[in-house]
Amino acid sequence: MSISTVTAARILKGQYSGLWEKEELVWETFPYSAIIKTYTTDSQVADSAASANAYLSGVKSNKGTLGVDVNVDLGNCSAQLDDAFHLSSLASWFQDAGRSTGFVTTTRVTHATPAALYAHVADREWEDDQEVRRDGEDPDRCDDIAEQLILSDTGKRFKVVMGGGRRNLLPKAVTDVVENKKGYRNDGKNLIDMWQRQKASSGSRAAYVWNRQDLLGLDTSNTDYLLGLFGYSHMDYSIERDNTQDPSLPEMTKAALEILQRDAGGYFLLVEGGLIDLGHHGNKGKKALTETLEMDEAVKVVLSMVNLQETLVVVTADHGHSLSINGYPSRHTDILGVAEVSGEDYLPYSTLLYGNGPGYRTHIPGHRPDPSRQDMAGVNYRQDAAVPLRSAAHSGDDVGLWATGPHAHLFTGVYEQNYIAHALAYAACVGHGRTFCGGGVRRNRGVETCRGQRRWHRQRC
Task: Kindly list the catalytic residues.
Answer: 48
Q: How far is the CB of 112 from Zn ion (least distance, A)?
A: 8
- Binding annotation for Zn(2+): 277, 281, 318-319, 394
Task: Tell me which residues in 369-428 interact with Zn ion (CB under 5 A).
Answer: none
268 φψ region: left (φ > 0), alpha (ψ -120 to 50), beta (else)? beta
Q: How far is the CB of 281 from Zn ion (least distance, A)?
A: 6
Alpha-carbon distances, residue 414 vs 35, 61, 407, 443 (angstroms): 5, 20, 16, 28
Residue closer to Zn ion (CB basis): 127 or 277: 277
Total residues binding Zn ion (CB under 5 A): 1
Residue type present at position 360:
Y
Q: How far is the CB of 431 from Zn ion (least distance, A)?
A: 28
| Count of positions (residues) in the chain | 461
Which of 120, 123, 42 lies closest to 82, judged by CA? 120
Q: How far is the CB of 441 from Zn ion (least distance, A)?
A: 37
Q: How far is the CB of 320 from Zn ion (least distance, A)?
A: 10
C-alpha–C-alpha distance, residues 150 and 197, integer Å: 11
Residue closer to Zn ion (CB basis): 44 or 330: 44
Residue closer to Zn ion (CB basis): 96 or 277: 277
By CB atoms closer than 10 A (0-12, 13-18, 19+), residue 127 is buried
Closest-by-Cβ residue to Zn ion is 277
Residue closer to Zn ion (CB basis): 250 or 279: 279
- Binding annotation for Mg(2+): 111, 113, 272
HEC per residue, the chain: CCHHHHHHHHHHHHHHHCCHHHCCCHHHHCCEEEEEECCCCCCCCCCHHHHHHHHHHCCCCCCCCECECCCCCCCCHHHHCCHHHECCCHHHHHHHCCCEEEEEEEEECCCHHHHHHHCCECCCCCCCHHHHHHCCCCCCCCCCHHHHHHHCHHHHCCCEEEEECHHHCCECCCECCCCCCECCECCCCCHHHHHHHHHHHCCCCEEEECCHHHHHCCCHHHCCEEEEECCCCCCCCHHHCCCCCCCCHHHHHHHHHHHHCCCCCCEEEEEECCHHHHHHHCCCHHHHHHHHHHHHHHHHHHHHHCCCCCCCEEEECCCEECEEECCCCCCCCCCCCEEEEECCCCCEEECEEEEEECCECCCCCCCCCCHHHCCCCCCCCCCCEEEECCCCCEECCCEEEEEECCCHHHCCEEEECCHHHHHHHHHHCCCCCCECCECCCCHHHHHHHHCCCCCCCCCCC
Q: Does residue 291 interact with Zn ion by CB under 5 A?
A: no
- Binding annotation: 111, 113, 272, 277, 281, 318-319, 394
Q: How far is the CB of 392 from Zn ion (least distance, A)?
A: 8
Task: Tell me which residues in 223-282 interact with Zn ion (CB under 5 A).
Answer: 277
Q: How far is the CB of 280 from Zn ion (least distance, A)?
A: 7
Residue closer to Zn ion (CB basis): 167 or 234: 234
Residue closer to Zn ion (CB basis): 131 or 272: 272
Task: Tell me which residues in 41-100 interact with Zn ion (CB under 5 A).
Answer: none
Residue closer to Zn ion (CB basis): 123 or 277: 277
Footprint on this chain of Zn ion (rule: CB under 5 A): 277
